[in-house]
Amino acid sequence: NTLIGIKPKNIQGNLFEDPQIDVTKHELLQTRHKHFLANTPKDKKGCRAEDERLRNKLAMLLEKNNMFAQENAEQLANWNPYNQNSISPFFDPEWMFGLKEGFDIVIGNPPYVQLQNNDGELAKLHEKCGYKTFARTGDLYCLFYERGYQLLKPLGRLCFITSNKWMRAGYGESSRKFLTENTNPEQLIDFAGVKVFESATVDTNILMFAKDKNRQQTQACIVKKEGIKDLSVYIRQSSSIINALSVCV
């Protein structure tokens, strides 16, 4: 559920502008730091218990100050950073990791799932999340490009390997527009018909962009053959500079 965030009621204000909330948040971050440094199971157990107490207190304060709906406040409180088997219904780097400015690097291989599958359940789930790249006939990975952009700090970089259909398909028009207007695409590698994953039949590409003004100097390469011994050398020798992602379509 990386695509789903937790939005406060007052999105114009600071998430932790209430003094008591800010103090509790600071205590929570300190507790997690102590847990990281703890050397004994007893000390770690104590930190986890204190973490749960502070999470509940903070969620109660957020709801009391009308900053979050009860359901969202409960989700925040129930998120357990120490249970590796639990699944969170949301992703919020500030709440989970104390990161306000975002990440330096986002790397991934997002799922390739058509939003209209399962009678459009995925489309219904994400159509109200505010994504500019949303298209009911589109694919889930397109939203991950936009979400990855949101999670970056200024000048941070994202690198994804995904299906390459966004480069040509009609549903990819909003993604091409978003990437062109909001990012600086630095490198685009289209594997075309070359299979990167043995178990996957989808054609793929690698895109790396910076959260920066578009310099219109994208290093683009189409990989046309399999069995390349040194891919980095091939890309360096076979790349050309393009000034718009639409050139790849």
Q: Which is nearest to 133 in space by CA: 118, 148, 120?
A: 148
State the pTM of this model.
0.83
- Token pair of 69, please? 């709906």
pLDDT, one tens digit per residue, over 52-91 is 999 999 888 888 887 777 888 888 888 889 988 888 888 8
What distance separates the 2 farthest-apart alpha carbons in the chain?
61
Alpha carbon 39 to its chain centroid, in Å, reads 32
Return the CATH fold of 103-248.
Rossmann fold (3.40.50)
pLDDT tens digits along 135-176: 888 899 999 999 999 999 999 999 999 999 999 899 999 999
Measured CA to CA, the distance from residue 48 to residue 31 in angstroms comes to 8
**Domain boundaries of the chain, sorted by first residue:** 19-93, 103-248
**Could you say which DSSP state residue 139 is in?**
B
